[in-house]
Amino acid sequence: MTQLAAAPTPSVRVRAPGKVNLSLRVGAPQDDGYHPLVTIFQAVALVEEVTARQVPEGAGVQLTVEGPQSERVPLDETNLAHRAAVLLAERVGVAADVALHLAKGVPVAGGMAGGSADAAATLVACDALWATGLSRDDLLGLAAELGSDVPFALLGHTAVGTGRGHLLTPAMTRGEFHWVFATRDDGLSTPEVYGRFDEQADGAHDPELSEDTALMQALRAGDPHALGAALHNDLQDAALSLRPDLERTLDVAREAGALGVLVSGSGPSVAALARSRQHALAIAATWTAEGAADAVWCTSGPAPGARLLA
Ligand code: C5P
């Protein structure tokens, strides 16, 4: 029996999450300049919402954005959502004519993969809008071409990432973890942080990156105290050397009783693990009172990956 493709929908809405790296272990750069990683991602409930709407033939990709710090988001073809729409259109042989509206809920340029979430949501939205018939694996392949963190924004929940961070294995977790993020108005450049990391390693990179067993156990047990003690980021010293004021943000969270605190990904966002939602709010209030953050964000993880909204 032949299956007919569903009629294209005029407009679709997709939500995709930001992330925190619970653990990030980084090896020596390869010939392509990328660093091999062993990382454990957790998706959090700070989300990007992308609405994709059909536009007349020849209109191209039209991008609009709303939300906190949206003035910092480029609206040209360098935007990852724009690139995602063009890449998908090329791959399936349709014209890249679509209006994309990004409602931002993930801090911009903070090491929390907000741009990657936009790209993942755009892939899912345009896939539905254009009824491409691609498989989930096809979409994961396109996601990896767009950026190292994009496949995880498709998958969500908690996962171990290897390769550039794009090869994913879901991790078992129990319960909900309460997070609070301190963000800065001026971001850090990811390549610059990796560059400083290489300078600091001075040729003595860790030759064997291994998965964090204590951290994986803490996740399986749903034990926030053990998870807090196991948080780790190889890029933290590099981020701190570029932004020494982040040290105080880490200290203030520790003094406020955070179970663990670390720079998120390549920074400059700082993530603190709290005992409860109430405790997360208390840490956020202390960060604000001490002037140790430009903005604070309370949330929880794990959260689902990119999905269509009804
Ligand atoms: O893959 P993505 O475009 O997100 O990476 C941004 C930059 O981060 C890369 O150009 C590279 O400098 C650095 N990077 C890296 N190794 C990784 C991931 C990112 O060196 N595994």
pLDDT tens per residue, range 52-94 = 999 999 999 999 999 988 999 999 999 999 999 999 999 999 9
Same structural domain, 81 and 206: no
Residues 6+ away with beta carbon under 8 Å from 191: none
Q: Does the beta carbon of 34 lie inside 6 Å of ligand 1?
A: yes
Q: Quick check: helix, strand or coil at residue 283?
A: helix
Which is nearest to 157 in space by CA: 309, 12, 301, 276? 301
Residue 149 annotated in active site: yes
Identity at 76, one-letter amino acid code: D
Task: Work out the burial of residue 253: count CB atoms within 10 Å of its CB; fewer than 13 is exposed, 13-18 middle, 19 or more buried.
Answer: buried
Same structural domain, 104 and 253: no
Same structural domain, 16 and 127: yes
Average pLDDT estimate for 275-283: 98
Same structural domain, 194 and 156: no
Domain stop point among 171, 186, 218: 171
Domain stop point among 132, 155, 171: 171
Q: Say how far apart CA 124 and CA 85 lie, in whole Å.
A: 10
Dihedral-angle region of residue 41 (phi above 0 means left; psi in -120 to 50 means alpha; beta otherwise)? beta
Average pLDDT estimate for 176-197: 95
Same structural domain, 43 and 101: yes
Which is nearest to 256 in space by CA: 298, 226, 221, 214? 298
Which residue(s) pair with 241 in the sheet? Answer: none
Q: Where are the alpha helices (DSSP H) in the chain?
A: 80-92, 114-129, 136-146, 150-155, 190-201, 213-221, 224-230, 236-242, 246-255, 277-289
Read off the pTM: 0.94
pLDDT band at 6 (very low <50, low <70, confident <90, very high): low
CATH classification at residue 235: 3.30.70.890
Whose alpha carbon is nearest atom 7 of ligand 1? 191
Q: What pLDDT, on the 0 to 100 scale, is given for residue 91? A: 97
Q: What is the pLDDT of residues 192-240, one digit of tens each?
A: 999 999 999 988 888 888 889 999 999 999 999 999 999 999 999 999 9
Residue 253 belongs to what domain range?
177-301
Which is nearest to 212 in space by CA: 26, 27, 28, 24? 24
Task: Work out the burial of residue 301: count CB atoms within 10 Å of its CB; fewer than 13 is exposed, 13-18 middle, 19 or more buried.
Answer: buried
Q: What pLDDT, on the 0 to 100 scale, is given for residue 187? A: 84
Q: What pLDDT, on the 0 to 100 scale, is given for residue 309? A: 96
Same structural domain, 83 and 149: yes
Q: Considering the chain, what percentage of its residues have pLDDT values greater than 70?
A: 97
In a domain, 28, yes or no: yes
Same structural domain, 254 and 157: no
Q: Does the beta carbon of 228 lie inside 6 Å of ligand 1?
A: no
In a domain, 306, yes or no: no
The structure tokens 């890249």 sit at 96
Number of domains in the chain: 2
**CA 78 to ligand 1 center in whole angstroms:** 15
Same structural domain, 144 and 264: no
Residue 104 annotated in active site: no
Q: Output DSSP code: residue 5.
A: P
Same structural domain, 110 and 184: no
Q: Does the beta carbon of 37 lie inside 6 Å of ligand 1?
A: yes
Residue 1 confidence (pLDDT) above 70: no
Whose alpha carbon is nearest atom 14 of ligand 1? 34
pLDDT band at 5 (very low <50, low <70, confident <90, very high): low
pLDDT band at 168 (very low <50, low <70, confident <90, very high): very high
Domain stop point among 133, 149, 171: 171
pLDDT band at 276 (very low <50, low <70, confident <90, very high): very high
Q: Are 17 and 105 in contact (CB under 8 A)?
A: no
